[in-house]
A = this chain, B = another copy of it.
Amino acid sequence: LGRRTEWPQQGKWGLPGGVIRIDLDKDLETSAQRIAQERLLVPLLNVKQLGAIGNKTRDERAGWTISVIYRALFPRKHFEPHPGKRFDELKWLAVDDAAADATIAFDHADIIVGAAKQLRAEIDKLEIPFEFFRGPFTLTELQTFCEAILGNKLDKSSFRRRLADRNTIEPSGNVRTGAFRPAQLYQPSKI
């Protein structure tokens, strides 16, 4: 979330958004990319459209507004957004906290609810966003990642069998050593 420096909803925390520039953007996804660059100073990965919302009341700047909602996913470690246009600060929130926060700008809390639901459905089906969760990784790391998104524990054996059935990842040949037994490293299948 970014803290808004300007009217409307000044001082409130909201999702980054912006206005389509027909002179700059060739399509909607390009708009999303440009706006993210302007407001977060970074490009987006793993972008997916979630739908459109439009009505008279959702933004006091206009009598009518349409937003086309895009979600993106990031490897948190190598992703350092900075406040750009009309934000003076950024912060990360756990998605369920943000969804429950009544002070969030506009109807952005509803949008967050929808996005979290959508992503969890994907993870349930083991559609792993590898643009986000890059290899090499151990199976336990991947499982921990999925558990963090879903918000509940998974069974190790079942998780691995389901992954194996799908052929979405393959061993990289290397291992990760740590305090205990080394773990096989995996990567997304190239096939």
In-complex Cβ contact of A28 among B26, B49, B55, B63 (8 A): B55
How many monomers of this chain does the complex have? 2
Chain A 45-66 residues near chain B, CB threshold 8 A: 49, 51-56, 63-64, 66
Say how far A23's CB is from chain B's closest CB, in angstroms: 9
In-complex Cβ contact of A52 among B51, B56, B63 (8 A): B51
Contact B52 A28 (CB under 8 A): yes
Contact A26 B66 (CB under 8 A): no
Is A22 located at the chain interface by the 8 A CB criterion? Answer: yes
A-side interface residues, number (CB < 8 Å): 18
Inter-chain CA distance A187–B98, complex, in Å, is 41
Inter-chain CA distance A56–B26, complex, in Å, is 6
15 pairs across A/B with beta carbons < 8 Å? Answer: A20-B54, A22-B64, A25-B64, A27-B54, A27-B55, A28-B52, A28-B53, A28-B66, A31-B54, A49-B52, A51-B52, A52-B68, A54-B68, A66-B66, A66-B68
Residues of A participating in the B interface, judged by any CB pair closer than 8 Å? 20, 22, 25-28, 31, 49, 51-56, 63-64, 66, 68
